[in-house]
Structure 1
């Protein structure tokens, strides 16, 4: 068969994801802190962007489309002349405006507190690490250099809870010619440093070391820790009382001693820092209405660098192409930021409309809600609502919640109406919190209470699923028989 070249015309549709469109979609799903970091990076890379120092005022710019149809739409291509005219004629300094309820804008004033003396950072001390704390103690004790080498190998294999997960072969690989007896002797001494019980191989060993340091020699207490930790965990108290021929009050006394021990001696030295949430939106109660205020604290106020913008008419060739590209990039970033903030405001405004009873009375009044309902309410695509509610938090009169929290499935009521699953979880948590510890509510009983008193049609397995999702133990493990 011969080969030949042909020209053929063909019409087709395809999705074109330009870098600008990708950036706009990316900005939608960034958290506030990630957004601040992204804008700061753009300020460093684009010479046509700079941070404005003046206060923001209402945005005079015409309304820009928020929705991006991801199946058919592509951004309109702007000519270099049109791009230059658009950028010069727009007051980009105030591109974000103030997003809040009309005529009820909360005025937030920043108070500058003068710092005197050394900087704030200089007043902070780093948190001591577990390995550093133990190494310091070893060097203050009578450890030989060989014992220090073995000790450093042991300390280097401790997990965040202070447990040793290396075996003899691992430690010998780091300290050649070390005998098992030498290694065990060093481990024994380290376990009696502060925190006591560190470098233990098992919880049993950890607790026994602590009892030794406390001077506890009661054979029943030592046997409970040495042989019956699993029975204690599963609250098999009556068989233990029969085995040791003691009454429940005596067993309770032993349990109180064990509960004062620390099964995770290294946890206080963990380097893991808590994750702090910075709300993206604040919702305040004002009379009979709610005010929505976007948190723009720390978000740079962007404007075009006038010095570089004025040089547009004085460039030619490749320089002019570079200038136009950077100016278009700056303009698109400003549009995308405005679009993101406006979309976020509209979504929260819709959530407040749908979940007004939650904002009035709390979690037990949360209604079932899906993304599609909010998307139809504000005239956007579901995927846009999904992206803008990802990793975003709202501060409400009842606490800080992720925006995804307001979207929950429905459970049927006997009168034909529905209730949100999160509301049911809150009710289950409340019932368990108020139960008698000696007679905890079973999942089946919780389901009966919800059905009899609150008219919620819920199965026992659903109660168990919601309870497990909230990390609440079963009734057998919650039971206090002492």
Structure 2
């Protein structure tokens, strides 16, 4: 398969004075760059920018994102209701005294991102100059609001609130969640079955029921910036060619505001010329910094296309061992430049969107002399768990044995356990199902 190359003047970047000045821009995400440019334009009257993205006049396989009609800045700036706003909009329908209104507003303002009230109720009472009984009564009112489960003080209470309000809380399930919550969560179900005279199959059904609840109700009102990742580059397969598209929706065409400069030049003021010279130097620094940033990122993505070609062709399990130093040497920049430039940057691929840093991974020795990446081994573990018999899940030792016999990957059981935990895969005991 061929790889579509960039339109580029040179990949040989050096630590020039301009690059040294612009290095701070490398770590900025696309949104940070947009904010930076707008801020600079407000401070520098010579800077003018249009809405059109920067594009070269010559054709290139390294293309602009096809979704040109989407105004990303407008969508990000658009107003989205927060959890606080959603709750404050509901309390107007509650019959509350002035003091109770102040208490519930205080609670709402102190909910965490999950919708939980982590502050001790006694501290709430002190802050609101009231007694504990009043706080508990107002908390009960808060917990009746939408989304169901908001105002809970922990996961256990959040689940109980949702079950009770939806009419799903049986006496049996309430006992399990209040008296055996840890055993239930960590699948130590034999004790529950024995002491509560409940079959393991019934406990499994309760577990499946709980899994359908929302453990973090507040996340429904997370901000758009928190919920969505904006890719800087889009990699696609077109025929036998890998094509890299530039997502330039946040890139602006910068130019000098000649009309403003000419009007200042006509003024009879000796301080104007030095002022214009300083602002023009600032403009040149910004322009050069952005150009260097783009050139560096293009070089990095070009290098990733070459070094991780199998990943882009076949998926994450084919990620090759690659360090930042190896890529830095390949494109002739310093390793720290690659580290800075890949911070807060994302690449959209046919297999999902990945951070640029995820394409760098250490190597592991196979049973032979070959090497494989840590991500590849994690993907193999994930696949083995997905295919296992859920009634007889694979232990870490069994996973270790299958990695060796089926994939020629020789690693320790402890390493398998570490990778499994990093993948948020539960232990074999916790993965076991009974029905």
* TM-score of the two chains, using structure 2 as the length reference: 0.80
1:229 equivalenced with 2:181 (yes/no):
yes
What residue in structure 1 maps to residue 284 of structure 2?
331
Cα distance, 1:293 vs. partner?
Answer: 2.9
What residue in structure 2 maps to residue 285 of structure 1?
237
Matches within 5 A, 1:16-415: 23-51=21-49, 58=56, 100-101=60-61, 106=63, 126-127=81-82, 129=84, 131-132=87-88, 135-139=91-95, 143-145=96-98, 147-148=100-101, 151-152=104-105, 155=108, 158-167=111-120, 169-176=122-129, 178-188=130-140, 190-192=142-144, 199-201=151-153, 203-205=155-157, 219-255=171-207, 268=220, 274-307=226-259, 318-415=271-368
Query: Which structure would you say has the larger Rg?
Result: 1
Give the whole-Å Cα distance in 1 for the aligned partners of 2:101 and 2:262.
68
C-alpha deviations, 1:268-326, integer Å up to 9, x for none? 45668633222212222233222223222231112233346668998996433333332
Cα distance change on mapping 1:205 and 1:326 into 2, 3 Å:
closer
Counterpart secondary structure, 1:324? helix
Cα distance, 1:48 vs. partner?
Answer: 2.9
C-alpha deviations, 1:237-277, integer Å up to 9, x for none? 22222222343344445545555666556554566863322
Q: Which has the higher contact order (CA 8 A, sep 6+)?
A: 2
C-alpha deviations, 1:158-204, integer Å up to 9, x for none? 4444544455543443454x555455444455545656665455555
Give the whole-Å Cα distance in 2 for the aligned partners of 1:113 and 1:217.
46
Cα distance, 1:365 vs. partner?
Answer: 1.0
Please say if residues 68 and 249 of structure 2, whose CA atoms lie closer than 8 Å, have aligned partners that are also in contact: no
Give the whole-Å Cα distance in 2 for the aligned partners of 1:216 and 1:54.
55
Cα distance change on mapping 1:431 and 1:17 into 2, 3 Å:
same
Between the two proteins, the alignment pairs up a number of residues equal to 417
Give the whole-Å Cα distance in 1 for the aligned partners of 2:246 and 2:428.
43
Give the whole-Å Cα distance in 2 for the aligned partners of 1:320 and 1:173.
61
Cα distance, 1:411 vs. partner?
Answer: 0.5
Superposition CA RMSD, Å: 3.9
Counterpart secondary structure, 1:282? strand
Give the whole-Å Cα distance in 2 for the aligned partners of 1:187 and 1:339.
55
Cα distance, 1:233 vs. partner?
Answer: 1.0
Give the whole-Å Cα distance in 2 for the aligned partners of 1:274 and 1:336.
27
C-alpha deviations, 1:45-81, integer Å up to 9, x for none? 23333225889674xxxxxxxxxxxxxxxxxxxxxxx
More moved, 202-211 vs 28-37: 202-211
Give the whole-Å Cα distance in 1 for the aligned partners of 2:303 and 2:78.
45
Please say if residues 231 and 346 of structure 2, whose CA atoms lie closer than 8 Å, have aligned partners that are also in contact: yes
Query: Is there any run of 5+ residues in structure 2 with no aligned partner, and where?
Result: 1-14
